[in-house]
Amino acid sequence: MDVPTNGLSGGLALDRSFRIAGLEMPNRVVLGPMAGVTGRAFRRHLKRHGAGLVFTEMVSAYGIVYRNRRTEDYLEFEQEERPLGVQLFAAEPHVLGEAAELVLERERTPDLLDINMGCPVRKVVKTGAGSALLADPARAVSAAAAVVRAAAARVPVTVKLRSGLVPGEHTALELGPRLEAVGVSALCLHPRVASQMYRGTADHAETAALKRLVSIPVIASGDVDSRAAAAAIMERTGADAIMVARGVLGNPWLVSELLQTGTTVLGGAAVLDDLLELLEGVTAEMGQERGVRWFRTHLGWYLKRLRVPARRIGELRAARGVEEVRAGLERLRRELTLTP
Q: What are phi and psi of 219, to 5 degrees?
A: -105, 130
Q: Catalytic annotation on 188?
A: no
Residues facing 218 on adjacent strands: 187
List, in sequence order, the alpha helices (H) in the chain: 40-48, 61-65, 69-73, 93-104, 122-125, 137-151, 171-181, 204-213, 227-237, 253-259, 268-286, 288-303, 310-317, 322-338
Give the separation between CA 224 and CA 163, rounded to whole angstroms: 17
Angle at 206 between CA 203 and CA 163, to 5 degrees: 85
**What single-letter DSSP state applies at residue 39?**
S
Is beta strand 84-89 parallel, antiparallel or unpaired with respect to 112-117?
A: parallel
Candidates 46, 58, 119, 134; catalytic one: 119
140 C-beta neighbours (distance < 10 Å), count:
23
Contact 219, 204 (CB under 8 A): no
294 closest CA partner among 30, 55, 47, 40 = 40
Give the separation between CA 45 and CA 302, rounded to whole angstroms: 14
31 closest CA partner among 160, 194, 130 = 160
Determine the straight-line distance between the first and last CA of the chain, rounded to whole angstroms.
52
Give the separation between CA 67 and CA 49, rounded to whole angstroms: 33
Give the separation between CA 210 and CA 214, rounded to whole angstroms: 7
The residue type of 312 is R
Residues facing 102 on adjacent strands: none
Annotated active-site positions, please? 119
